[in-house]
Amino acid sequence: MFYRQAGIRYTSYPAERQLWPLGIERVLMGLILALALIAPALLSPLLLSSYLLPWVIWSIAALGLNLLMGGAGQIHLGYAAVMAIGAYSATHAARAGLPFELSLLVAGLASAVIGVIFGAAALRIRGLYLAIATLAMQYIVDFAIGHIPAISGGTQATVATPTPRILGIPVEGPVGGYYIALVVCIVVTLFMLNLRRTSFGRALAAIREKDYAAEILGISAFRYKLMAFWTSSFIGGVAGAILVFCYYRSVSPEQFHLETSVQLVAMVIVGGLGSVLGTFLGAALILLAPLALSALVASLASSGLPIGSDLRAHLPLVLYGALIVGFLIAEPLGLAKLYDNARKYLLVWPFRHARS
Amino acid sequence: MGDISTAAAGSPPILSVNNIEVVYDNVFLAVKGVSLDVAEGGVVALLGANGAGKSTTLKAISGLLKPERGAVTRGDIAFRGESLLGLDPPDRVRLGLVHVLEGRRVFEHLTPRENLIAATSMHRDRRGVKDLIDRTFTWFPRLAERAKAKAGYLSGGEQQMLAIGRALMTEPKLLMLDEPSLGLSPLLVDEIFDILRKVNAEAGVAVLLVEQNAAAALDFVDQAYLVDNGRVVMGGAAATVKANPDVQAAYLGGGHQVDYAAVKHYRQRRRWLS
């Protein structure tokens, strides 16, 4: 009903290429943005700092990974290592007295430089072989961080992050951290949304579809694969820095192990490769579903259902796995495709289908 | 428009497609009313412009719509009197219907012989498989010459022969071909059609052919259907279709001189047909 394109006649190319041609989607976007901005006033501090804040931060990281996996078609199983590099370099830069804004930049650059070195492997190998090469990055970075006291402060050590200062003003508490994360998230989201409208984004899509077909069109696979790793690692580094500054407030090696990398890949795949909306949905499902399911099982148990303590610990995990598998069987292209199906249905409603 | 049903009186058709509608991704309507019959041992062509719905029709028959997020939403497809809807592609092959995909799709890293053997998963006795391979090599002597090369290194024509030969290894009653002439020289096209004629005569395999090369196809088949805009708009004996002035103008180049008035006339009429 609200999904109507009737009467839309473009008179310029920018109008035709606008991000949200449907009025209803512009309204929805505005609504979501407004809700995100006033969320600290609406939500309890607990909800804000343990649900919304991590969701926003992990979405930034998953967006960066989606640039690489969905945008350029290169798999990365060591993305948590990229975030770790950003987290540690930002922490040390800030502790050395650099302003927070510059520390974020340092985080991005450090991750990008190291990420691109491992990304160079993608020039020669693809698919499962690249997965192994990036897995190697995860282990090498884990090892380096753990065994170089200058970085981690020794094995098992935790380095506290200084309070972030924006333009010299200290930003404290979960609300301040939330707004920092939200601003970065908005910037990264806008970048990702606009990526497909740039020559860079189109070059990445060409490489994703068939890299040798891209080469014969004059797109240097060498250059654009490295650029994809560079950009994606930059975003990952910034996300890692935001994560430790605004959420954990300290940095330690076990925050960025392989499990985290796998979770990030799961977010991207469950959400939908190459989809910005899907990345947010995927991050929500992977991150928030375990918490919600635990709460559900706990409330069921306390309401008198015969759920033993053993079952109570494991049932949420079982349901979580079933949920992910269920969503992927229902829609192999991810959560974003579910919205896309509904959108296409509403666009042709009340007719059953359009001429292709 | 005339009588669309072309099944020979008396013998029931081996394949009967009854007014099917195909929708991709739940939204895009690709085929909106295709009906056709293939007689036992008959040779039938499905002609039409690009995007008319010919390949989609073949995929609906062989069951390959699912991976492309398509579905038959109306109508029925019956093979030897039995509905195919609801059967998986491998089950349809077991019933005796095989689809040669557009663009060949040989297994590049296997040799031609291994390609052929790969298509015999449902045969249990080895002697039978050997006979089938010999039969295929007799029809396609060129494949026998190159039996030990990797299929990826065969020429385009040889790969097409391999794709057809591989399909014949399943001992089909109906062979569906999607653009066998794609990218081949006219001489090779003739050679492939000659072989198909032999296969049809010797093994009694019915053929359903989708072709852009309308002239070559109409010389080869007994019956032809014309698909336009997702519908069958004309059907009949190949000679009748070939003689039709609209077909002459729109698909056969109108003889030596293109008659633009006739093409325009056809386009105008086409609006009423679809």
Phi, psi dihedral angles at A301 (to 5 degrees): -65, -40
- Tell me, yes or no, whether B200 lies in a domain: yes
pLDDT at B41 over 60: yes
Angle at CA of residue B133, ends B127 and B135, nearest 5°: 105
| Closest CB from A341, A347, A353 relative to B23 | A353
Residue B270: pLDDT band by 50, 70, 90 thresholds? low
Cβ within 8 Å of A, B 132-191: none
Phi, psi dihedral angles at B230 (to 5 degrees): 80, 5
Cβ within 8 Å of A, B 28-87: 28-30
Question: Could you tell me if B249 and B232 lie in one domain?
Answer: no
Q: Answer whether A119's CB lies under 8 Å from A133's CB.
A: no
Domain enclosing residue B252, as ranges: 244-274
pLDDT at B11 over 80: no
CA dihedral B138, B139, B143, B145 (to 10 degrees): 40
Question: Could you tell me if B256 and B150 lie in one domain?
Answer: no
Question: Could you tell me if B65 and B136 lie in one domain?
Answer: yes
| HEC string for B169-237 | CCCCCEEEEECCCCCCCHHHHHHHHHHHHHHHHHHCCEEEEEECCHHHHHHHCCEEEEEECCEEEEEEE
Question: Could you tell me if A147 and A18 lie in one domain?
Answer: no
Residue A53: pLDDT band by 50, 70, 90 thresholds? very high
pLDDT at A75 over 50: yes
| Closest CB from B24, B27, B30 relative to A348 | B27
Is A344's CB within 8 Å of B26's CB?
Answer: yes
- The amino acid at residue B249 is A
Please report the pLDDT score of residue B261 as a whole number.
66
Residue B52: pLDDT band by 50, 70, 90 thresholds? confident
Question: Could you tell me if B129 and B249 lie in one domain?
Answer: no
Task: Tally the C-alpha atoms within 13 A of residue A129's C-alpha that lie toward its C-beta.
Answer: 7
pLDDT at B49 over 70: yes
Please give the model's pTM, rounded to 2 decimal places.
0.85
Question: Could you tell me if B176 and B225 lie in one domain?
Answer: yes
Distance from CA of A177 to the nearest CA of B (A): 42
Question: Could you tell me if B226 and B266 lie in one domain?
Answer: no
In this prediction, residues B129-157 reach a mean pLDDT of 92
Question: Could you tell me if B123 and B186 lie in one domain?
Answer: yes
Residue A110 to residues A26, A55, A117, A143: CA-CA distances in angstroms?
A: 36, 24, 11, 17
Burial B50-78 (b: 16+ CB within 10 A, else e): eebbbbbbbbbbbbbbeeebbebeebebb
Question: Could you tell me if A83 and A10 lie in one domain?
Answer: no
Please report the pLDDT score of residue B209 as a whole number.
94
- Tell me, yes or no, whether B5 lies in a domain: no
Q: What is the distance between the alpha carbons of residues B157 and A86, in angstroms, rounded to a whole number?
A: 55
Q: What DSSP letter does each residue of chain B carry, written as one string?
A: ------PPSSSPPSEEEEEEEEEETTTEEEEEEEEEEE-TT-EEEEEE-TTSSHHHHHHHHHT-SGGGTEEEEEEEEEETTEE-TT--HHHHHHHTEEEE-TT----TTS-HHHHHHHTTTT---HHHHHHHHHHHHHH-HHHHHTTTS-GGGS-HHHHHHHHHHHHHTT--SEEEEE-TTTT--HHHHHHHHHHHHHHHHHH--EEEEEES-HHHHHHH-SEEEEEETTEEEEEEEHHHHHH-HHHHHHHSTTTTS--HHHHHHHHHHHHHH-
B-chain CB neighbours of A356 within 8 Å are 24, 28-30
- Tell me, yes or no, whether B4 lies in a domain: no
In this prediction, residues A3-32 reach a mean pLDDT of 85
Burial A190-203 (b: 16+ CB within 10 A, else e): ebbbebbeeebbeb
Cβ within 8 Å of A, B 3-32: 23-30
Residue B198: pLDDT band by 50, 70, 90 thresholds? very high
Query: Could you identify the residue written with the tokens 């010389």?
Result: B219
Residue B254: pLDDT band by 50, 70, 90 thresholds? low
Is A354's CB within 8 Å of B27's CB?
Answer: yes
Question: Could you tell me if B248 and B216 lie in one domain?
Answer: no
Please report the pLDDT score of residue A306 as a whole number.
78
Question: Could you tell me if A25 and A60 lie in one domain?
Answer: no
Cβ count near A27 (within 10 Å): 12
Minimal-distance CA residue of chain B relative to A333: B69
Phi, psi dihedral angles at B253 (to 5 degrees): 75, 10
Residue B134: pLDDT band by 50, 70, 90 thresholds? very high
Question: Could you tell me if A15 and A101 lie in one domain?
Answer: no
A-chain CB neighbours of B24 within 8 Å are 356
Is A354's CB within 8 Å of B23's CB?
Answer: no
- Tell me, yes or no, whether B1 lies in a domain: no
Domain tally, chain B? 2
- Tell me, yes or no, whether B123 lies in a domain: yes
Please report the pLDDT score of residue A154 as a whole number.
73
Query: Could you identify the residue written with the tokens 């925050």?
Result: A255
Please report the pLDDT score of residue B8 as a whole number.
47
- Tell me, yes or no, whether A355 lies in a domain: no
- Tell me, yes or no, whether A37 lies in a domain: no
| Closest CB from A344, A347, A354 relative to B29 | A354
Question: Could you tell me if A6 and A61 lie in one domain?
Answer: no
Is A352's CB within 8 Å of B30's CB?
Answer: no
Question: Could you tell me if A150 and A27 lie in one domain?
Answer: no
Lowest mean pLDDT among A91-95, A282-286, B119-123: B119-123
Question: Could you tell me if A24 and A70 lie in one domain?
Answer: no
B-chain CB neighbours of A341 within 8 Å are 25-26
Please report the pLDDT score of residue A17 as a whole number.
84
- Tell me, yes or no, whether A272 lies in a domain: yes
Is A354's CB within 8 Å of B30's CB?
Answer: no
Is B27's CB within 8 Å of A355's CB?
Answer: no
Question: Could you tell me if A161 and A186 lie in one domain?
Answer: yes
Mutate to test the interface with A, among B22, B27, B32, B50 (most CBs of A within 10 A): B27
Question: Could you tell me if A22 and A148 lie in one domain?
Answer: no
E strand or H helix that includes residue A60: helix A53-66
Residue B137: pLDDT band by 50, 70, 90 thresholds? very high
In this prediction, residues A90-95 reach a mean pLDDT of 94
Question: Could you tell me if B96 and B204 lie in one domain?
Answer: yes
Question: Could you tell me if A129 and A244 lie in one domain?
Answer: yes
Please report the pLDDT score of residue B253 as a whole number.
67
Minimal-distance CA residue of chain A relative to B28: A356
Domain enclosing residue A163, as ranges: 43-348
Q: Domain of B140: which CATH number? A: 3.40.50.300
- Tell me, yes or no, whether B10 lies in a domain: no
Domain tally, chain A? 2
- Tell me, yes or no, whether A88 lies in a domain: yes
Please report the pLDDT score of residue B1 as a whole number.
39
Question: Could you tell me if B191 and B151 lie in one domain?
Answer: yes
Question: Could you tell me if B156 and B194 lie in one domain?
Answer: yes
Q: What mean pLDDT is reported for chain A?
A: 90
CA dihedral B113, B119, B125, B127 (to 10 degrees): -30
The predicted complex's ipTM stands at 0.76
Please report the pLDDT score of residue B150 as a whole number.
93
B-chain CB neighbours of A348 within 8 Å are 27
Please report the pLDDT score of residue A354 as a whole number.
75
Question: Could you tell me if A240 and A306 lie in one domain?
Answer: yes
pLDDT at B252 over 80: no
Question: Could you tell me if A23 and A63 lie in one domain?
Answer: no
- Per-residue pLDDT of A143-169, as tens digits, reads 999 888 888 877 678 888 888 888 878
E strand spans, A148-265: 159-160, 165-166, 169-170, 250-251
Query: Considering chain A, what percentage of its residues have pLDDT values greater than 70?
Result: 98
Question: Could you tell me if B66 and B153 lie in one domain?
Answer: yes
Is A345's CB within 8 Å of B26's CB?
Answer: yes
- Tell me, yes or no, whether A354 lies in a domain: no
Lowest mean pLDDT among A21-35, A338-352, B43-57, B129-143: A338-352
Q: Does A348 touch chain B (CB under 8 A)?
A: yes
Q: What mean pLDDT is reported for chain B?
A: 87
